[in-house]
Structure 1
Amino acid sequence: MSHTAHIPSHRKPRRSASKLAFRAGVAGGVFSTLAVAGAAAPANAEPVTETTLEMPTLGSLEADLASAVSASAEASQQEALDQSLAAQEDAALQKAAKDAKKAKAEADRKAEAEKAEKARAEARERASRTAARTSLSAKSSSSSDSSGSADSSTGSSQVATGSAAAIVAFARAQIGDAYISGGTGPNSWDCSGLVQAAYRQAGIDLPRISYDQSSMGTSVSLSSLQPGDILYWGSRSGSYHVAIYVGGGKYVGAQNTSTGVVERSLDWDMPSGAVRLL
């Protein structure tokens, strides 16, 4: 290195005199102001306490807003849940009331059906007892007094044969069926409807009305009856009731709504006459 090389100095550069004078003046002014203020203040004046106001930060506001939104959402969700539960309770109560009403109606219906069935059973039992008593009475009357009975001449040993057997068998098969005015079967009959259907078994077509049926064939006396003969009540051309003689002093006929189709002794209700078509 040459002796003439420049070596940088490590000393601070000197400030200019003007800058130093300005800074000294400013500092002096400040210190003088402080001195005057200190002299003017009371001797016992309390030191001034500095109050620091903390301003909320942006992060704090966002947290508070999120908390408020969350609380509002929870409240709305709870309210919706309460309303849903209330609606479900109302629906359950309405369904329970409807089911209870339906069950009561069904129970009432069953009770009425059982009551009606019991009444029908009692009616059938009474009818059976009445028919049994009537049959016994008729048999007793027939056996004790045969003088006025057509069975005295025909006897109780008559057996239907041929077409008469078919007619008698059909008539007896309908015993117990109901009586209905205008009935022609298969489970309900009136008197002429039963006679007409019975004769159809033998291939014989009869008129529908009782007085027309009694006007056919040949008139026979009640003392000469044969199975299959048509019995009538009233005049032959104006009869109001007909039945079929089945032998043994008995007949089968659709009597009335109380008895239906029954088998009776001639003594129970003596017919006015009879006709024979076989």
Structure 2
Amino acid sequence: MKQPLVPVVPMSHTAHIRSHRKPRRTATSTIAVRAGVAGGVLSTLAVAGASSAANAAEPVTQTLELPTLTADLAAQVAQSADATQQAAANYQLRAERDAAAAEAAKQAKADLAEAEKKAEARKKAAEEARQAAAERAARDAERPSLTTTTTASASVSAPSSGSVATVLAFLQAQVGDAYVMGATGPNAWDCSSLVQAAFKQVGVDLPRVSQDQSMVGTDIPLSQIQAGDILYWGGKGSAYHVGVYIGNGQYLDAANPSKGVVIQDLSGYPASGAVRVL
């Protein structure tokens, strides 16, 4: 039995050459190609992202540091301004103090010259008053029954005792002097230093302060006080002010900084008590 004949298809004249055959693309190769392409894209994106992140990181760092530097600089400028302002204020205050001190020194010099001028006049008057008092004392010693006469000031009674007259004459010479706490003359006094200095003229040593001066001598009722008695204000032993009674309802004292040494009416400022040492 004859086999059926199979038709023979003629081949291309280049079919036997391998390089001219069109290769068949398999699924595996297609996947590999796609994977390679995707990997390349992802690598590119990763590099670009990393570069962008690196580039972006530097401005962020600078942006965070800039406010800190600015704040520090602002604080330094503010501190410098404050220091400059404080220094200017200190210079101005010092200048004002220097100007005030210079003015005070100028005024003090003028006041001192005026005080010295007045002091000379008072010393001369005091010397004349002492001489007059000594003469009166001599006459009074010879005439014990002689009534009292008046001194140069109509407000001051001259007692028969020469010692009291000397005390009053000294006090009269100090009228117009300044009151300065703690001062002891010759041109400024406080209340107790003036009383102490007055009685020292006749050899009587009194304590320095008002409290102690109110404790010396003999207590005298205010209704029986005489010229030359020491008046005090406050409690006995705790007096805060003293003066000397000069007669005619008046006393002489270093009153206060605004008045200085003056003669005042006892009715305007009644004393608390009195003591007699002469």
The TM-score with structure 2 as length reference comes to 0.44
| Higher gyration radius (CA) | 1
- Choose between structure 1 and 2 for higher RCO, CA contacts under 8 A separated by at least 6 residues: 1
